[in-house]
Structure 1
Amino acid sequence: MQMPIATLDDRVSVSSAWRNAVGYLKQQPGRKCYNLAYMVTQPDAWTQEDASTIAAFDEFAKGAGRHPVTTVANTIFPLACYRVRGADGVFEHYPDEIYPRVKTTWGTYAERMLRRRDAQGNLLRHRDGQLVNPLKSLTEKLRHRVAAARGTKTHYELPVSDEVFEISTYDPVRDARYPRGGPCLSHLSFKLDPSNNVRLTAFYRSHFYLDRALGNLVGLGRLQRFVADQAECDVGPLTLIASEACVESSLGTAKAAAVNDFLAKLGI
């Protein structure tokens, strides 16, 4: 059976986009769909709806024994490191000092954007001895392009692979042995539009809308804001594409009835 791409209406903020996607997925057979796509027009905005939705989610997640939004968001972008130490806090302090203390079997997106490793787990270096830092290379190239007001505006990629302008988070050396698990976020693609706004498209191989998606959206918005700041640009839209997306019927210790009650309180 052929299934069309599920393209949802644009939403202004990340929480509004999340609520809309959860509402759509609830109505689908098995509470999931293939090829879900939508756009957040102001991903770095912070509205009262964002605050209330995230507060409600965090309370629910705590009761279910799951991670709050900020914990999930920090796996994509370590905001506290940026606020306290600036860009060096992201590029150097987080991967060298913080990540080794907090790393688990999940939540490695930020480290994958900031370092590259070989099959034995050794850090890769450029010929000059500098550590390979895909995110830093990408932001430097974007900044140079904007300053020069010329050059291509469409090839700033982060496969989270080892190409400098690709950030792919899926690494076949590290992840191929897992029949399930590993990074769900597969690729990040940054573009400069004609107005020099930084646009971001994030590709997920699978996306779990209760356990991860809200925190993922917040983290992606923060990452996009950081890249735009480093390139001295404004933030453009954030586009999410998931080859498979679902909203779980239960989460942690929260069974179906508790999940349904939580979503009903949010008007979903």
Structure 2
Amino acid sequence: MAKIVPSEGVGRAWLAAARHLDTQRGRKDRNLVLEISKPQALSGEDLTIIRAVDAKLREHHDDLSIETVSGTIFPNSLYRREGRPQFYKSFVEVMAVGKKPNSWGTYALRMINRVDRKGKGTYNPLDSIVERLLKTHTGKTYQAAYELGVVDIHDDFDTNLNGYGFELPLFDPSRDAKPTNVPCLSHLSFKLTDGKLDLTAIYRSHWYCMRALGNLVGLSQLQSFVGKESKYECGTLTCIATHAYLDSESFGGVPATTTLLTGLPVT
């Protein structure tokens, strides 16, 4: 049975979900759903939670922080500095140098730089979504795509869909059909609801100590980018983890994790 966690902010949503996982057998659960109504608005409690988790990550990992995790979803600082579309080119250039050998890169790279299956260079799925959403201001607007997310990525961007798309699949069967070292974020779906832009993210697996809060921050920044560039106010951010795990070892063990969770602001 799904566990639904409603909240206004990303920090408070993460804390409520992490506390739930801390009570589960093996600190694991299936179909953990976060419904965040104001993901871009950070309250004092949200900031306190984010700072505490960031400090714990930095304490136990040399190269891990909320910022480094959120940056794998969306390079927000680069976008704010250079704007669209220049930041696309800059990010691809940075990743060409900085991407680890034999790795699949980052989610952001997959969103903005995909190889055309017909050998005609690359294309930018994320900007295709922005452009298609912009067209809804002068044409017919569709609220949802009613997708399963199992078709090929190229089918999702077929021009014959005439506005039914708005999908951003990240799983690539040709590269990711392996038991290990595969992306945990499977699919992103943008929807228009009562004139607002909602975002739903589906994770096949979500590690709550090491990754989840940074991912939520990155998703909120991605949603903000698409909303701003397509001239839509942002709505709800929904994050679904089909497998959620409170990886307490990432925070220094079970006692340290429980102490952190109980000491943070009550949500």
1:94 to 91, 94, 107: 91
1:134 and 2:130 aligned: no
- Residue 169 of structure 2: aligned partner: 168
Distance 1:223 1:7, change over 3 A: same
Deviation, structure 1 residue 259: 2.4
Q: Which stretches of structure 1, 4 residues or longer, exceed 3 Å deviation after superposition?
A: 104-107, 155-160
Could you tell me which runs of 5 or more consecutive residues in structure 1 were left unpaired when the two chains were aligned: 118-123
Deviation, structure 1 residue 169: 1.5
Could you tell me which runs of 5 or more consecutive residues in structure 2 were left unpaired when the two chains were aligned: 158-164
Deviation, structure 1 residue 188: 0.3
Partners of 1:156 and 1:90 in 2: CA distance: 31
Partners of 2:141 and 2:34 in 1: CA distance: 29
Contact 1:75/1:108 (<8 A) preserved: yes
| Identity within the alignment, % | 37
- Normalising by structure 2, report the TM-score: 0.86
Deviation, structure 1 residue 257: 2.9
1:266 and 2:264 aligned: yes
- Normalising by structure 1, report the TM-score: 0.86
1:68 and 2:65 aligned: yes
- Residue 84 of structure 1: aligned partner: 81
- Residue 160 of structure 2: aligned partner: none
- Residue 223 of structure 2: aligned partner: 224
Partners of 1:19 and 1:106 in 2: CA distance: 30
Distance 1:125 1:137, change over 3 A: farther
Distance 1:17 1:248, change over 3 A: same
Contact 1:190/1:201 (<8 A) preserved: yes
Paired residues, what number? 252
How do residues 176-195 of structure 1 correspond to structure 2 at under 5 angstroms? 176-177=177-178, 179-194=179-194
SS at match of 2:221: helix
Distance 1:125 1:181, change over 3 A: closer
- Residue 161 of structure 2: aligned partner: none
Deviation, structure 1 residue 219: 0.3
Deviations 1:198-236 (A, max 9, x none): 000110001010000000000000000000011101000
Contact 1:199/1:235 (<8 A) preserved: yes
SS at match of 1:155: coil
SS at match of 1:33: strand
Contact 1:81/1:89 (<8 A) preserved: no
Q: Calculate the aligned-residue CA RMSD, in Å.
A: 2.4
